[in-house]
Structure 1
Amino acid sequence: MTAAISPPLRVALVEDQPLFLTMLQRVLEDAPGLHVVATARTHAEASRVLRPGLAQVVVLDIDLPDGNGISLGVRLRRAQPDLGVLLLSAHDAMDLLLDLPPDVAHGWCYLSKTSSTSEESLVGAIRAAARGETVLDPALLDRMTPRAGSSVAQLTQRQYEVLRLLAEGLSNAGIGERMGITEKSVQNHVHAVYATLGIDADPVRNPRVSAALRLLEETGPAS
């Protein structure tokens, strides 16, 4: 019996730079299982085009010529609660994720346009956003260190590395492969991270999202 083929993930793009918009569209159309269903270059155009249900994920430039991409994302999410959001920015604005209203804080990912973001990480972040997860830019995370006295600072070096990779969107299997340890060891480290950070197993909130946001909240640029 032939397995059913899943329909492609529907993605919308909101980006004001024509060349970058074209490049994004080309990359995503070439990626298996993704389909770009709409593009827009301004806040106003996106508001007209992106009706609820059209896309499953929207890729948003934070700095639009006629408005803020984050406020647009909040409005789109409230109209479509299961919409995934991937933010792109030319400058480090990851901490803006901490200011999101609680009712829409899940399923937002952030990548920098100026870091070494690859096509693989871009596509991975889009898929993670569709699952309601949070993925943070790996190159920007590399520059962060735990704040003194924070819960993150209490983690062992190995636990902190696991948390970093978790925030990059890697699965437990992917973390194990990157670190050269078993998936069972990763699971143990993840549970220890949750315990240290006080992240409860709340079925309503994804603990990986909570852990990624805690990492962002309790770290700062290395001096």
Structure 2
Amino acid sequence: MGITKVVIVDDEALFRELLRRTLSAEPGIEVAGVAESGEAAIPLVRETKPDVVLMDIELPGELNGIEAALRIKEETPQIGIVILSAHSDRRYVTSLPLDDSQGWAYLLKQTVPDLAAVVRAIEGSKAGMVVLDPLVMAGLRPRQGSVVASLTRRQQEVLELLAQGYGNAAIAQRLTLSEKSVETYINAIYQALHVSDEPGIHARVKATLLYLQSAQNR
């Protein structure tokens, strides 16, 4: 898989240092730099050329986290962005520019101690996926009458794990299924949602965005 270079952008020094130390100890991840504002992040990203930027949604200065991330994406469209937030409400997630977009993750700061979830967000955004925090997903349910609500309970479980950045093997392990069964469920989900791989956008991204669009807070 190779080394994944990341930059951390957060104005809270203690949190920034905690995240830096945690990720520096993770095999396969290199922390290329840290910044405390959006204005400082942009030249740092130009200099260090990371694969992924972990960006606080609320930053001091002229640029908030979303605005800084968009500036970075304009210069380097393939870069992954992990938005760090204290807000689990759906309206904060949908404030991200996710329409037909790729390489974004939304991660709650309280999830950071769950290193596996952080790594899924980093690697998923690097791969061009859209990854949602597991605690955010736990607080959502499909609206009655939506296409996602028409999926079977098992199909919804598989889709929720897809949206959290799990691969097929990990989904199979969590749900005690064979990988072949997981592939069958995923194909059925794609068919029901009328999504498929197209140049420039992955079917998993489309399925995740449809889930988010059809969801409401529990």
Moved more, 194-203 or 78-87: 194-203
Superimposed CA distance per residue, residues 44-69 of structure 1 (whole angstroms, 9 cap, x where no aligned partner): 11123221761111000000011221
C-alpha distance after superposition, 1:114-149 (max 9, x if no partner): 347501111221111111111101111111111111
Distance 1:101 1:211, change over 3 A: closer
* 1:86-101 aligned within 5 A: 86-92=82-88, 93-97=92-96, 99-100=97-98
- Contact residue 33 and residue 48 of structure 2 kept, 8 A: no
SS at match of 1:86: strand
Match for 1:62 among 54, 57, 61?
A: 57
Report the 3-state secondary structure (helix = DSSP H, G, I; strand = E; otherwise coil) of the residue aligned with 2:94. Answer: helix
What is aligned with 1:118? 114
Cα deviation for residue 8 of structure 1 reads 2.0
Match of 2:30 in 1: 35
Distance 2:59 2:112 in 1: 22
Secondary structure of 1:38's counterpart equals strand
**Structure 2: stretches of 5+ with no match in the other structure:** none
**Does the 8 Å contact 1:53/1:80 carry over to 2?**
no
Amino acid at match of 1:24: L
Structure 1 unmatched ranges of 5 or more = 1-5
What count of residue pairs does the alignment treat as equivalent? 214
1:19 pairs with 2:14? yes
**Which of structure 1's runs of 4+ aligned residues deviate more than 4 A?**
none
Return the alpha-carbon distance in structure 1 between the equivalents of residues 175 and 78 of structure 2: 32
Q: What does residue range 55-204 of structure 1 map to in structure 2 within 5 Å? A: 55-66=50-61, 67-92=63-88, 93-97=92-96, 99-100=97-98, 102=100, 105-115=101-111, 118-204=114-200
Q: 2:44 aligns with which of 26, 44, 49?
A: 49
CA 157–149 in structure 1, closer or farther in 2 if over 3 Å, else same: same
- Distance in 1 between the 2:5 and 2:48 partners? 9
Call closer, same or farther: CA 1:217–1:59 in 2, change over 3 Å: same
CA distance in 2, matches of 1:161, 1:205: 23
Percent identical: 37
SS, match of residue 132 in structure 2: coil
In 2 relative to 1, CA 40–95 (structure 1 residues): closer, same or farther, beyond 3 Å? same
SS where residue 199 of structure 1 aligns? coil
Q: How high is the TM-score relative to the length of structure 2?
A: 0.93
Query: 1:3 maps to what in 2?
Result: none
Decide whether aligned partners of structure 1 residues 187 and 52 sit closer, same or farther in structure 2, where only a CA change above 3 A counts: farther
CA RMSD in angstroms, aligned pairs only: 1.6
Name which of 3, 6, 10 aligns with 2:5: 10
Residues 52 and 80 in structure 1, CA contact (< 8 A), matched pair in contact too: no
Output one character per residue of 1:195-221: Cα deviation in whole Å (capped at 9) or x when no partner. Answer: 111112323211111111111111111
Matched residues in 2 for 1:202 and 1:101: separation? Answer: 15
Distance 1:128 1:60 in 2: 15
